[in-house]
Amino acid sequence: MRHPERELREQHTIAAILRKAPIGRMATINQRGIPVIKPVNFLYLDEKIYIHSSQKGEKVEDIRRGSPVCFEVDEPIAYRAAGELGCKAGYYYRSIIIKGEASFVEERRKKIRILETLMEKYQPEGSNWKFEEEVLRKTAVIEIKIKEITGKENLG
């Protein structure tokens, strides 16, 4: 880390940011060796990241081929005006970067539990969701096991 003084070390703060962030970005390496990043809805649970996905698509194919993954969330706070010095503009933020290994949740009960918890996060006004078998077959739940996690902040 180029600015070690900005390292975010408090694990409870990192966990809170991961629980609260509405959108994450997951990067994989595609079959041509090119990094690809996608915005995703996600859940941080039991020190893992879970992502709802179709069973088809580039990120799913990349994971099936064994691509490593990188996952990022950020919490923008405010911009700092430059004044008369153009390069003195700044940005106050917190960000988390995770490097890990992705796999698919296959066990039906766990898959439903993750999907229900995702629904609670994104649709807190609802409850008692049902998942038809056809939908469960078409839906992938990606689990990212965290190998490395770093946080950074600039709060001024």
Q: Determine the structural domain holding residue 148 and report its residue range.
A: 4-154
Reduce the DSSP state of residue 18 to 3 states and report it: helix
DSSP assignment of 57-104: SHHHHHHHTT--EEEEEEEEEEEE--TT-GGG-EEEEEEEEEEEEEEE
The predicted structure's pLDDT at residue 8: 80
**Residue in 105, 79, 110 with CA at minimum distance from that of residue 92:** 79
CB 154 within 8 A of CB 90: yes
**Is residue 126 pLDDT above 80, yes or no?**
no
Cα–chain center distance at 104:
15
CB 143 within 8 A of CB 49: yes
Report the predicted TM-score, pTM, of the whole model to 2 decimal places: 0.89
> Span 73-102, mean pLDDT?
82
CATH number at residue 73: 2.30.110.10
Reduce the DSSP state of residue 32 to 3 states and report it: coil
25 band by pLDDT with thresholds 50, 70 and 90:
very high
**Domain total of the chain:** 1
